[in-house]
Amino acid sequence: MTISLRKSVPHIVMLVYVVIILAPFLFILFSSFKSSNTEIAAHPFGLPKHWAFDNYKEAWVKAKINVYFFNSLYLAVSSAVVGVLMAAATSFALSRMRFKRTSAWIYQFVLIGMLIPGNVLFIAQYLLVSDLHILNTHWSLFLPYTAGALPFSVLLIVAFMRAIPNELEEAAIVDGMGVMRMFAQVILPLTVPALVTVFIVNFLGNWNEYLLSFFFISKDALRTLPTGMVQFRDAFQMNYALVCTGIVFSVVPVLIIYMFLQRKIIEGLTAGSVKG
Amino acid sequence: MKTTLKNPYIYLLFVLPTIALYFLFFIYPMITSFYYGFTDYNGLDAKNFIGFDNFANAFKDPDFRNSILNNVYILLFSCCVQVPLIVVFSLLISHVKRFQGFYKTTVFMPSILSTSVIGILWGYIYDPDVGLIDSILKSFGIEPIYFLADTKWALWSILITNAWQWMGFYIVLILAAILAIPKDIDEAAMIDGATGVQRAWYLTVPLIKPIINVVIMLSIAGALRVVDIVLVMTGGGPAGATDVMASYMVNKAIKYGDYGYGSALSIIIFAIALVLTALYQILIVRRQEKVEY
């Protein structure tokens, strides 16, 4: 084997892998512009004869993808933001304030949450939200999403805050700063990289969540994108092009975010799994 | 001057909301799961304490036993097929210089997408009328296969989809570990005349054993967590061929209102997860010496 051939073997193997990853997306993208099922079946990989842009308008409005999209967006953003802020405040108290003993206990207590697999709690959480009379409202998703992200967020942010040198806050105290201002103006700005990581991980988790949102929400107007998509597929089973359009709508925003923040996303998601 | 950081009211203000929310949606459901698991609660009639009946019934229930078996298949597939492939792919990526970032970004991509959307997407790939695979088979004159409706194929179809979604995630984990190994070890072996395959097998793989162990642990946990993909693609069918423990539990609880029995199933899932991870830790991880370089 010549050296150049040997060098290209990894590339050939990886190219096959990359094609396997990307082919389904291309298939869906092309299908979404085709006007009929027969055209999809006849040329699965061919470009569409006429680009049926109407599919997009139809899916967005008629199939209510727009409703699902904004539900998902505001739920994912709001619970990720609230979760990050709560976790940041708690992490500050646990890592910087002088209640060492209590803090150690609380920290251990919160970390127990990382041992519990999510779907184990499903039935009990279902009964809990129905006891709280918030079933079929966005609260039934917002609260579990926010709570579910706390253990991992606290773990990561505490680790980050512990590395901040003590001298900083001593200087702040000498200058007469109160705790609140110290938290908001000294510690929080320094923690931004960790907060961004935690936010991204929580946002993606909420944006993609399926199990709770499928069973806790039955009003169509309140559905999120993952469950709305499944509903949409079941309703439009026969119109493949339209469902493919729906898939494009739900995948593209995530891919755009991924394009800009890929390093942060990969770092955050892998850190979460290894530490958990 | 230390008093600023010893303000108990601020401390409570910062800690209490988190503790309250966490307790309400984590600890309390865990406790009630255990409680419901020992009752015949069905959401309508009064709860009766029935001891270990639910647990005894679970192990007698042929459908649940079948779903445990499917979890075992998923677990074996991910540990025995996926993990070796993952190691090979990460070694390959680590050996190239050009396109390394591109490969990494592309293989990781499916793991940031919603499992439900991936389920729908692959449902179309497997579709007998318009799907990608059957279209290709048809052009070779092969009869279309009903991947998701045929008991022979359904679980395989889900295994492939699941692997497609998650392999890249683990590849990136292992790749990071490989790239963290100091270059001089590899160079020394190269000067001694070791081939690429030899260096990979005798040098790199032993050095990344700890992270391979992490990946195996995560695969075990992941195999027990599989549920979205099953609910979206097949709903557990055909005839329970793809039912896993979690999907069976969810269906029992929501469709039939069997909350007591469902809670018992969820405790069994939790127990199996704890036992498997503990066993793996004790049997495999503890026996290996620490890697230092």
Alpha carbon dihedral B257, B62, B233, B262, in 10-degree steps, equals 30
Whether B143 has a pLDDT exceeding 60, the answer reads yes
Residues A77-100, buried b or exposed e (16+ Cβ, 10 A)? eebbebbbbbbbbbbbbbbbbebe
Residues 6+ apart with CB under 8 A from B143: B137
Count the neighbouring beta carbons within 10 Å of the beta carbon of residue B151.
Answer: 12
The reply to whether residue A14 touches residue B2, judged by beta carbons under 8 angstroms, is no
Which residue, chain included where needed, has tokens 């993609």?
A208
| CB-side neighbour CA atoms (13 Å) of B225 | 18
Least confident of A47-51, A68-72, B91-95, B203-207: A47-51
Per-residue pLDDT tens for A208-225? 899 999 999 988 889 998
Domains of chain A: 57-275 (1.10.3720.10)
DSSP string computed for B109-165: GGGGS-HHHHHHHHHHHT-TTT-HHHHHHHHTTPPPP-TTT-TTTHHHHHHHHHHHH
| Average pLDDT taken over every residue of chain B | 88
User: For residues B32 and B258, is the Cβ–Cβ distance under 8 A?
Assistant: no
- Rounded-to-integer distance, Cα B87 and Cα B109, Å: 18
Does A122 sit within 8 Å of B253, measured CB to CB? yes
Domain at B63-285: CATH code = 1.10.3720.10
Take residue B197 and report the two structure tokens written for it. 């395959």
% of chain A surpassing 90 pLDDT:
33
**Phi, psi dihedrals of residue A31, rounded to the nearest 5°:** -60, -35
What is the model's pTM? Answer: 0.88
- CB–CB contact B113 A208 (8 Å): yes
Most distant CA pair in chain B, distance: 83
Closest by Cβ to A244, choosing from B103, B124, B228: B124
Pair B35, B49: CB distance under 8 Å: no
Looking at the predicted structure, is the pLDDT value of residue B290 above 80? no
CA–CA separation, B174 vs B12, rounded Å? 41
Give the nearest chain A residue to B20 (CA atoms). A147
Is pLDDT at A103 greater than 70 in this prediction? yes
For the cut 90, the answer to whether the pLDDT of residue A195 exceeds it is yes
Give the span between the Cα atoms of B224 and B78, in whole angstroms: 11
Q: How far is CA B232 from CA A169, B65, B156, B200, in A?
A: 51, 22, 15, 39
Beta-carbon neighbour count of residue B206 at 10 Å?
Answer: 11
Bridge partners of B39?
B49
Residues A67-90: pLDDT tens digits?
898 999 999 999 999 999 999 999
Out of A160-169, A228-237, B21-30, B276-285, give the one with best mean pLDDT. Answer: B21-30
- Contact list, B195 vs chain A (CB under 8 Å): none
For residue A266, give the DSSP letter.
Answer: H
Q: What per-residue confidence (pLDDT) applies to B281?
A: 81
Query: Are the beta carbons of B167 and B86 closer than 8 angstroms?
Result: yes
For B14, which of A93, A113, A209 is closest by C-beta distance? A93
Residue B109 with chain A: CB contacts under 8 Å: 21, 255, 258
- Please identify which residue in the block is written with the tokens 């010893």: B6
Quote the Cα angle for A247-B112-A258, to 5°. 90
pLDDT at A276 over 50: no
- pLDDT tens sequence across B163-210: 999 999 999 999 999 998 888 888 888 888 888 888 888 888 989 988
Q: What percent of chain B has pLDDT over 70?
A: 97
pLDDT for B145 equals 83
Looking at every residue in chain A, the average pLDDT score rounds to 86
Identity (one letter) of the amino acid at B124? Y
For the stretch A122-177, pLDDT in tens is: 999 999 999 999 988 999 999 999 999 999 899 999 999 998 888 888 888 888 88
Q: Which residue has the tokens 């692997």?
A: B163
For B216-250, the pLDDT digits (tens) are 988 988 898 889 999 999 888 788 889 999 999 99
**Among residues 63-102 of chain A, which lie with CB inside 8 Å of chain B?**
86-87, 89-90, 92-94, 96-99
Mapping DSSP to helix (H, G, I), strand (E, B) and coil, where does residue B95 land? Answer: helix
With contact defined as beta carbons under 8 Å apart, do A28 and A242 qualify?
no
Of A113, A105, A98, A232, nearest in space to A170 by CA:
A98
Predicted complex ipTM: 0.87
User: What percentage of chain B has pLDDT greater than the value 90?
Assistant: 41
User: So what's the pLDDT on residue A45?
Assistant: 67
The owner of tokens 């946990």 is B221
pLDDT at B159: 94
Spatial distance between the Cα atoms of B119 and B109, rounded to a whole number of angstroms: 15
Q: Residues 6 or more apart from A181 whose CB is under 8 A from it? A: A172
* The pLDDT of residue A44: 65
For residue B238, is the peptide bond before it cis, meaning its omega torsion is within 30 degrees of 0?
yes
